[in-house]
Amino acid sequence: MASAPFPPVAASAASVPPRLAPRHPFAAAAAARRPVLPLRSSAVVAANTLRCTHRRAVSPRSRRRAQGLGAASALAESVWGVGEGKGACLSCFPKSRRGRSGLARFAPCALPHASGLSFRSRLSGSKVRPSHILRAAGPDEPHVASPTWSDTSLDTSDMDHAISKEELEDVLNTPLPEHPKLIRGQLKNGLRYLILPNKVPANRFEAHMEVHVGSIDEEEDEQGIAHMIEHVAFLGSKKREKLLGTGARSNAYTDFHHTVFHIHSPTKTKFVLYFQEYGEDLLPSVLDALNEIAFHPKFSSSRVEKERRAILSELQMMNTIEYRVDCQLLQHLHSENKLSNRFPIGLEEQIHKWDPDKIRRFHERRYYPANATLYLVGEIDDIPRAVREIGAVFEHTHSENEGNLLPSSSPFGAMASLFAPKLPGGFAANLSGEKSPATDKIKPVKRERQAVRPPVEHKWSLPGVAQDAKPPAIFQHELIQSFSINMFCKIPVSKVQTYKDLRSVLMKRIFLSALHFRINTRYKSSNPPFTSVELDHSDSGREGCTVTTLTVTAEPQNWKSAIKVAVHEQHFFVLFQVRRLKEFGVTMGEMTRYMDALIKDSEQLAMMIDSVPSVDNLDFIMESDALGHTVMDQLQGHESLLAVAETVTLEEVNTVGAEVLEFISDFGKPNAPLPAAIVACVPRMVHVDGVGETEFEIYPEEITEAIKAGLEEPIYPEPELEVPKELITQLELDELKSQHKPSFVPLTKEENAVKVFDSETGIAQRRLSNGISVNYKITQNEARVGVMRLIVGGGRATEDSESKGSVIVGVRTLSEGGCVGNFSREQVELFCVNNLINCSLESNEEFIFMEFRFALRDNGMRAAFQLLHMVLEHNVWLEDAFDRATQLYLSYYRSIPKSLERSTAHKLMLAMLNHDERFVEPSPHSLQKLTLQSVKDAVMNQFVGGNMEVSIVGDFTEEEVESCVLDYLGTVRAASSPNTEERIEKISFRPFPSDVHFQEVYIKDTDERACAYIAGPAPNRWGFATEGNDLFNVIQRSDADAEISEPVNLDLTGKRRIDVRSHPLFFGITLSLLAEIINSRLFTTVRDSMGLTYDVSFELNLFDKLDLGWYVIAVTSTPSKVHKAVDACKGVLRGLHSSRIVERELDRAKRTLLMKHEAETKTNAYWLGLLAHLQSSSVPRKDVSCIKELTTLYESATIEDLYLAYEHLKVDDSSLFACIGIAGAESGEDTNDEEPDMDLHGMAPMGGRGVSTMTRPTT
């Protein structure tokens, strides 16, 4: 869909730490089993069965951040969901940016909010109000303004008279207002620059150099060379290395259409000496580093060889089945152009061959200022000075642009794609030949950026366009788990530059929101014909087109029924125009409902205009520029939404929406738009109950007939739903208060204080008479937005040998049902839509938690509390929801043997934790023993007053939050807290010796890959180890420590110091610093020096309640190198004694963690994590001091402290576990005596188009 030109508003990642880092299969498994209560705000238009995704090319960071969109982008992005993590720039980007649960993925919806244009008042005249946008001095090109300070927006007065159709059309053609703070300019050498002042995060800025060259610009013998240059230029830069000690972070990535080098930096270096602060501006150094990286790299033989090894390892790491599926989709979607065969990672056989000279020649052809754009976003107060700095650094780079001497070649030479005109059918792109001889004439050439990026031609799926229909393509592979079919429609990008463009985006948004809701709620049988239906209508800057995709996923045996159901639902809408029956298409109630939700959400986003992180603004501007959209801020976006909303009619909504899906609804009809491609991805073998493994057969003709049959199914009108305005009426609330008499009571028996308030942190603590603990913090981090988390102690650890999987399946069952009291799932979802509530329900090993994000307008907080009350008091358990939850985990378990990473991780966890199923997916045998009553009991036995803690953070008043707490939490029935500790069966690591401390997994695959996991015991966050040992009792202090008379003092820098070893967070702080240092050493040694891997990481899993933890090293490699990589990782892990930590390493680790902490304290969700367990009896060592002193604890930690904690990481042979996974055609047979079910087959979730083709970050 049009990525409407509005900037993003970030919604922070939720702060409950995942048990393992998201990129690990352990975490992937946890993520897959996270049930999400199907309640989503309109912005996210939530439901798991239909995900409308808006893809953006964004910078490839491993940061956990959710994108909320402002204004029109909100409109585009919330319906077409950046929150799903499908945005991402192609080449060096992790396959998915899995954020934390629940709140992490809230993407406020709605359109733009700020032009000030009223259609009724527009006709009476308007005043032009100048503002300031620096225009470029260079040529008049797309996205480059001209060189004066000017901009206009319309200041109007309201008039009530109606306007004619002609007058309306005139107004709709008015250009959208430009972002008032966005500065654009261009140097004489052609370098474009954009500057946007932004104060979040404070004292930092983003600098991104986008070079408009990517894999699409490569010739036949250069496939992957742009990505190689990215690696060599970035990692070979000495000036970039000089920034490492300043607190700056940097990375790079390559896509089809561009290469981006980015640096996230403090505005100044900062140090304190004798209570005086010193520092210097970092902008000049950052710009100098980007200049060297992009335009003056050193292609030394040693660096080229080092990065060659890294890229070859990266290629094998990326080559998952998801990657191969994505490649197939792109190959068929873009079969007519180079996008089908120019994946950024490149071809292995070519990567082996290039020498530094060939790489250098490609760089000389493509990397020059006129082919690049610099983006600066952050706390840049002095704009004129920043412009001067840009000129001083870059203006002399290739300043001889006009007369640059390049060898001319024949029109059929390798340079043809750069100089020759773009001819129909991609002729110019195919005119490559041998390099011209050295005797060719030399002539001056002016080099400019290609006008169209990427420079390819498409065959459009438009009505009446004559072209031959392509039969469905089938990709069959032994590692594919489920049946999926993808129908693609490809059309030109519609630039959003006028109110008419924006109006079209809004109408599509309404239509798709209604469609999404219908599909999500229609089929609730225990065995629905499809697993998921996803609709993606999105602009793609990286592909240069707008693509609509219908993806249907199903169990192989149900594929025909699934297709019929999916296409039938599309047909439901389109026939409104054909049959002209009022009951078909989007109903008036639906249009009113979603329009209202969009406006509410848009207003909320406009209020958050000053809370947008710089990187989100930058990513948004970069993609908007690539697509040609006008860039507005959130306020402009909202006002523009209001202006166009009043002109939208039901008939137009259905007309516009029908056009989006015409390639499906009119499939097979004359003159209908032909699908750009139909691609089915299917398994080779399927598991049939009672039969076993059976070959799966499918033919293109069957797929075509199934689609046509689905379009012939009878259709019925859509009934209107009654949407509740409240879940608890005032009369019902009064009765509850009279019955329960809610009140606040003293927090502890020892103290009489009914409220504890810490003025330094702003944290308030309360306790209700029914035993529920409450923590809250008032903050203006996000204007008129609140977040809330309920934490219930117990989690999967309470499962016993007879109820394995009961908690996780029970939580999923409750989520799948989605009903509360007498309200249906549909009604509850629409209640959330109307009140802008986003909600998730999840469980992990220690806790069950429910999270909410809500808008503090129109009683949004009371609505969220009502929903929480209803879940606690009037939850509904449905048999069909239990069946779906059971089937989901059964399918997920059966898919494990088809994933190299997951099967390797699964085997390691079972070995390390003595086959304890509470830490892995429940097995089919365990699932068969569960009943609806058993899973209900397992969950609800934990939902008792003394075992529940609720934390709330947001822009509310004390009166507002305490009123809601008393009314809706205080009226929850009281119950005594069970002694969950006594019900937790013993958790222990497998003792040594055993034959499973080192294992291998083999998977049959057409391509070779390898990975490994190394793990071992660690203490939990609060210093407890297995068997309940309190490590604080065994810490031996040095004589120097014993002489410390005061726990707190000041050093020469004026910083406050704490005796870290006596603090409850000693292990949490020191182990986190150790993890940063070990990660750095793993990269330097195993990847950079030894060339054994592209990706290696060390992650800690520190529990809060359970008396244990563990660490995991994950490494990818090749089958021939993976054993050496494992040995090298062990060497780094055990080498901290022989190669001691130095102050420089510790300082860098401190800066990294402190910067992250400082940035995240500006988000509500992070504060939820800090508030967690403040009053929990199962985490007795946590109190407010752990939050107040966090920064000081990091600053006070010493190298000796780290070594003291390191002694309790078990890294010896008797404690360490390792498992190596190898995939390939010649892999040996893996025997798994412990898991006889592991060869079962089933469904595994697949990524969206192109997601897996993104290569990983350079660092």
**What positions carry a catalytic annotation?**
230, 307
Whether the Cβ atoms of residue 597 and residue 109 lie closer than 8 Å to each other: yes
Q: How far apart, in whole angstroms, are the C-alpha atoms of residue 1144 and residue 1003?
A: 43
Structure tokens at 609: 């205009």
Q: How far apart, in whole angstroms, are the C-alpha atoms of residue 1223 and residue 478?
A: 12
Cis omega (within 30 of 0) on the bond before 742? no
CA nearest neighbour of 715 among 528, 586, 573 = 573
H/E stretch holding 510:
helix 499-522
Phi-psi region for residue 807, left (φ > 0), alpha (ψ -120 to 50) or beta?
Answer: alpha
Residue indicated by tokens 């799932």: 825
Structure tokens at 367: 């990397």
Q: How far apart, in whole angstroms, are the C-alpha atoms of residue 49 and residue 530?
A: 9
Cis omega (within 30 of 0) on the bond before 993? yes
Name the amino acid, one letter, at 1202. L
Q: How far apart, in whole angstroms, are the C-alpha atoms of residue 1142 and residue 1145?
A: 6
Whether the Cβ atoms of residue 1032 and residue 1041 lie closer than 8 Å to each other: no
Whether the Cβ atoms of residue 257 and residue 626 lie closer than 8 Å to each other: yes
Q: How far apart, in whole angstroms, are the C-alpha atoms of residue 669 and residue 700?
A: 18
Residue indicated by tokens 């029908």: 658
Q: Which long-range contacts (CB under 8 A, 24 or more apart) does 406-415 make?
A: 406/365, 406/442, 406/443, 406/445, 406/447, 407/436, 407/438, 407/440, 407/441, 407/442, 408/436, 408/440, 408/441, 408/442, 408/443, 408/445, 409/435, 409/436, 409/440, 410/436, 414/219, 415/365
- 3-class secondary-structure state, position 991: coil
Structure tokens at 318: 């990326």
Angle between helices 806-817 and 879-894 (to 10 degrees): 130
Per 3-state DSSP, the chain is made up of helix, strand and coil in percentages (nearest 5) of 40, 15, 45
Q: How far apart, in whole angstroms, are the C-alpha atoms of residue 792 and residue 977?
A: 11
Q: How far apart, in whole angstroms, are the C-alpha atoms of residue 704 and residue 711?
A: 11
- 785-793 vs 773-778, strand pairing mode: unpaired
Alpha-carbon dihedral 1164, 1166, 1172, 1175, rounded to 10 degrees: -60
Name the amino acid, one letter, at 240. R
Give the helix ranges, DSSP H, for 1116-1217.
1122-1134, 1143-1160, 1164-1171, 1184-1188, 1190-1196, 1199-1206
How far apart, in Å, are the Cα atoms of 664 and each of 332, 674, 679, 990? Answer: 17, 9, 14, 55
Q: How far apart, in whole angstroms, are the C-alpha atoms of residue 643 and residue 121?
A: 10
Whether the Cβ atoms of residue 894 and residue 903 lie closer than 8 Å to each other: no
Q: How far apart, in whole angstroms, are the C-alpha atoms of residue 1091 and residue 313?
A: 8
Chain centroid, CA 944 distance in Å: 34
Alpha-carbon dihedral 879, 883, 886, 888, rounded to 10 degrees: -130
Q: How far apart, in whole angstroms, are the C-alpha atoms of residue 1234 and residue 1231?
A: 9
H/E stretch holding 658:
helix 650-660
